[in-house]
Amino acid sequence: MTPSNIPTFSYFRLWFGFIGSAITWVIHFFLIWFISEMGCLSGLGDQTLLGINSVVALILLMTIPLLLITVASGMLSYGIWRQIQDIERQSAPDQGIVYAALERQRFMAIFGSLAAILFGVIIMLQTVPLFTVPVCGA
C-alpha cells in the first residue's frame, strides 16, 4: 500500500455513519414527544388506529423507519471499518497503518458503529413505556 491507493471514503458515507445515529435519535425523541403531547391534547389519544391507541400506533409507525436509518448508519460504518481492516491486513506487517487519514477514517467508522448500537438501543428502549404507561393519563 502506498499513500496513493489508500481509499478515502465519501464524505456522506463517513459522516452519515459517524453521527447519523445520534441525529436520528434527536429527531425521534422530538417526534415522539411532540406526537404524544399533541396527540393527547387533541384527543387523538382516545381513538384507535390498527387496533391500538392511535398515539401509540403513530409513535410505533415512525419509530420503525427511524430505527432502520440508525441501523443503516451503523452498517455503513461497520462496512468501512471492515474494509479498512482488510487493507491493514494486506499491508506489510512492519508498515502497519502509517497513513493518518486512514487511521482517522477507521476511528470514525468504529465510533459510528458503536454509536449506532447505543442510539439504536435507546430508541428501542424509548418505546417501552408505550406498553407500560397509560397513554395520556395525567
Q: Whole-number minimum distance, CB 91 to other proteins, in Å?
A: 17
Nearer residue to other proteins within complex by CB, 15 or 75: 15
CA distance linking residue 135 with residue 45, whole number of Å: 7
Q: Whole-number minimum distance, CB 31 to other proteins, in Å?
A: 11
Q: Whole-number minimum distance, CB 122 to other proteins, in Å?
A: 5
Residue identified by cell 471514503 is 9
- Residue numbers of the site for other proteins (CB under 8 A)? 19, 22, 25-26, 29, 32-33, 36-37, 40-41, 55, 100-101, 103-104, 106-108, 110-111, 114-115, 118-119, 122, 125-126, 128-130, 132-138
Q: Whole-number minimum distance, CB 68 to other proteins, in Å?
A: 19
Within 13 Å of residue 55, how many CA atoms lie on the same side as its CB?
25
Nearer residue to other proteins within complex by CB, 41 or 50: 41
Nearer residue to other proteins within complex by CB, 90 or 132: 132
Nearer residue to other proteins within complex by CB, 50 or 107: 107
